[in-house]
A and B are shown apart, each in its own frame.
Chain A
Amino acid sequence: MQCVVTGGNVKVLAKAIHSLSRIGDELYVEPQQDGLALRSVNSSRSAYACFLFAPLFFSRYSLPNGHDFRCKMAIKSVQSVFRSLATLEKTVEKCHIELDEQKNRLTFTLHCKHGLLKTHNLSYQDSESLQAVFDKEGCGNVFRAQPRLLVDTVVHFPPSLEEVSVSVSDNRMWFRNHVDEEERSKAMVTELCLASDEFDHFAVHAHNSVTFCLKELRGLLVFAESTGLPISMYFDEPGSPVVLSVTDSVLEGNFVLATLSHDDHSFQKNNTKGAPTAPPPPLDDFMNDDMDPYLIAMDTSMAPGTPEASSALTVCSPPQTPAANHSTRLHCEEEEEEEEETVDSDRPPNKKFRSLFFGSVFPSQMSTQPLPDQDVLASDSEEDDS
């Protein structure tokens, strides 16, 4: 394999690796016919990210001879190749990525100004193909926004915040920090409302609310902001993953994040009630004024429900799958999920897909609680099921 990246694309590659490092500790590298795939998954397998750089992204792109090759390596060591992101653009003219299978080395050579050459030889491990199962095209709720909008949104949330909930109605989107039940009385709740016309594209099919990790979103924002690419967001119901993606003619990035799930009952309720459209009268609002209707609407944007179980995205390793055809894969995933529930954990996994599937049972919620909420994040729960 040999890839040559030149000019501004070096920085794009570096930023991509940087945002992948927000997901997991390892970088999965797979040169494919349709481009170079860089992937990462977090340890609890609740977040997965993939960048595919098309052959046209490179000024030269060749595949390893005669056989499929894939490997993984510590993402930190790859990050260190592109350490100083700020000066990278000015100093690096060209980046060669070359595979030396004899020595088991992946070599990054940076051609800098004044004929300076920086060579990094990174060792790697062979790996299975890492491929998450998701179907973004099948999602009912689809949004696209300029990165600035989301950057200005997440800035209102503290860096320490782990999870954020996103709710939608026909023409609004709410961001809200997710607070654990026991911390409710102490924690500050922040809520931000965006109107549909701030988005480039706003299509709502179901009035749902999903909760996912903010860290990975911030990771993608770093990439999207520097490349100026709009971010698309796809989701369905709570429990099924949210997909955040950036696309361009020569690259595609998909971040797949597990979401918290409600049980069916609350989901129905959520759906039929049309979450934020029917606010109760304000309890103690002092004055009438223009901003209040929004505030009231936000108060009730979380419809009551009893959280029960969480599923998360399924990451599977098909032995030989080049570019994924996501829509055909979806129904496999559903079968897989059903099977998983009945299958004894000791049995060997399904032959076609090896799924790392996880979930958790939430403590049932007290009926006395005035405000419902969904409460355990999938990423915390992998141990419970495996």
Chain B
Amino acid sequence: MKFRGKIIDIACLNHFSRVVTTIAKLTKTCVLRLTPDNLFFVLSGKVANGGVSMWCELSQGNFFDEYQMEGVSSEDNEICLELSPENLSRALKTVQNAKSVKVKLTKKHCPCVTVSAELPTLSSVSRVVTHDVPVEVIPRRLWHELKEPSVPDFHVSIYLPPLKTMKNVVDRMKNLSNFLVVEANLNGEMNLKIETDLVSVTTHFKDLGNPPWGGGSEGGADPEGMAEARVDIRRLQQFLMGQQVTPTKAMCNIVHQRILHLVVLHDDASLQYFIPAVA
């Protein structure tokens, strides 16, 4: 099991660090899955994390100037590591002005992902900083929990309004309630609602547009018909808070009363976030 990657381009480094920071805002621990072509940050929906799951996919070629890995075996050419994205994010943030950054799997006092950077100096010798982020190697028998979540059989798929606007709305609603209802239809309309004994608040968005793959399984559904999911408002807030850059596309799929599936697409990275609906 070997892994080594090198980033020279400062824009790539910056971008990678932003992605990791986004992940760090979403979860305390997650799994870093390395394959010859991709890096994945995975959180599988367990009760411990509120049933939330996450799938973030990066194409290594877009970030790394050099990338070599050797998986557990030639058939299972992958590495799965559990780590704290917060640590990784901190490590990357302090090396933003580095001449080059290497990310390696190492064996120190425990297995680590080592981020080492060559920092610019006035002297002839470079200054080197290393951050050893402790990781836990996930045995192969647990890999089945880390498969890409299948896109649910959603009832409605809709583009999201600017995430910043949405965040402002959700931040305010959070003061009033712990739960929020997201509802949307195939006519480009989405509502964010809270309902308590004292107050009901709804924010309406319209003309958002629906992705071309359209109306899910139930063909010929009423375009005005709303699919809804009632979710823990903190999960949605976390997701919105973590978004560091405006994505190319942001959309959400709703499986009526079951799942809110948020998808953020960048040129070279994608993030999916699944929030289970509560009754």
Contacts and interface: CB of A to CB of B under 8 A. Distances in A.
Nearest to B106: A284
Contacts of B249: none
B121 interface: yes
Interface residues of B, number: 36
From A156, A187, A287, A299, name the one whose CB has the most chain B CB atoms within 10 angstroms.
A156
A116 interface: no
Interface of B: 2-4, 68, 84, 87, 90-91, 94, 102, 104-110, 112, 114, 116, 118-119, 121-134
Contacts of A156: 94, 129, 131
Contacts of A186: 134
Nearest to B131: A190
A278 B135 CA distance: 27
Contacts of A299: 108
Contacts of B121: 195, 198
A291 interface: yes
Contacts, number: 91
A190 B132 contact: yes
A373 to B, nearest CB: 9
A298 B127 contact: no
B110 A190 contact: no
28 contacts: A155-B94, A158-B90, A185-B109, A187-B134, A188-B84, A188-B132, A189-B108, A189-B109, A189-B131, A190-B130, A192-B129, A193-B128, A195-B121, A195-B125, A195-B126, A198-B125, A283-B106, A283-B107, A284-B2, A286-B2, A286-B3, A286-B68, A286-B104, A291-B116, A291-B126, A291-B128, A294-B128, A295-B114
A152 B122 CA distance: 13
A191 interface: yes
B interface SS class: strand
A152 B102 CA distance: 20
Contact of A188 (B4, B102, B124, B134): B134
A198 B128 contact: no
A340 B102 CA distance: 51
B127 A198 contact: yes
A152 B114 CA distance: 20
Nearest to B68: A286
Contact of B91 (A155, A184, A190, A294): A190
B110 A184 contact: yes
A295 B91 contact: no
A192 B132 CA distance: 11
Nearest to A187: B134
A187 B83 CA distance: 11
Contacts of B128: 192-193, 291, 294-295, 298
A106 to B, nearest CB: 42
A291 B123 CA distance: 16
A159 to B, nearest CB: 11
Interface string A154-195: 011010000000000000000000000000111111111111
Contacts of A185: 109-110, 134
Contact of A194 (B90, B102, B109, B127): B127
Contact of A284 (B102, B105, B109): B105
Contact of A191 (B3, B105, B124, B129): B129
Nearest to B83: A188
B21 to A, nearest CB: 15
